[in-house]
Structure 1
């Protein structure tokens, strides 16, 4: 089952950058595809996916241990980081622009994916502890 949480997407977009809204939605799609790909790779059974931006959740059954669950949780941010590193351009941005969601960016797709990965990791670490 797929559920789309509009409130989570709006909060994510406001924290990452409202100026580049299509890139935020594309980064969210990459995030969820990364999680589902890891779940399928670990031979898990995906029961539900809640697409809420960086606050999304994926319910997977038939995983072997806690390490597999951690891999599924952090594969979404890893996918965003890989896309950010592959596209390139983060190194040409000012450091202040990397943290400012209102900044005008030269390479927005890379920066948005990097911000998305960091926000998702912070939220996932908070939910673990």
Structure 2
């Protein structure tokens, strides 16, 4: 079952890059696709997907290891990091623009994916420890 949480998507858009909402939606789609692909690779049965941007969750059964569960938890962030690395452009942006969601960017796709990678990774760490 797929549930789309518009409040989470809007919150992610505000936190990641309100100036580039189309890039944020593309990065969120890539994040969800990374989670789905990783679940399929590890033969997990996807029960529920809640698409909420950086706050998304996925209920997967049919895996035996906690290591696989951790990989599934960070797979969306990994997909965003890979997309950011392949797009390039982070090295050409000043550091102050990497964290400011209101700044104008030369390479917005790479920076938005990097921001989503960091935010979703921090939220995944929070899910592990709390």
TM over 0.5: yes
- Counterpart check, 1:20 vs 2:26: no
Q: Distance in 1 between matches of 2:36 and 2:110?
A: 22
Unaligned runs of 5+ in 1: none
- Counterpart check, 1:7 vs 2:11: no
Q: Distance in 2 between matches of 1:47 and 1:123?
A: 21
Q: Distance in 2 between matches of 1:23 and 1:84?
A: 12
Q: 1:19 Cα deviation (Å)?
A: 0.6
Name 2:57's counterpart in structure 1. Answer: 57
Alignment of 1:1-129 (within 5 A): 1-129=1-129
TM-score normalised by L of structure 2: 0.98
User: After TM superposition, which residue ranges in structure 1, 4 or more long, deviate above 2 angstroms?
Assistant: none
Unaligned runs of 5+ in 2: none
Q: Distance in 2 between matches of 1:103 and 1:18?
A: 9
Q: Distance in 2 between matches of 1:20 and 1:84?
A: 15
Q: 1:64 Cα deviation (Å)?
A: 1.4
TM-score normalised by L of structure 1: 0.99
Q: 1:65 Cα deviation (Å)?
A: 1.3
Q: Distance in 2 between matches of 1:116 and 1:76?
A: 9
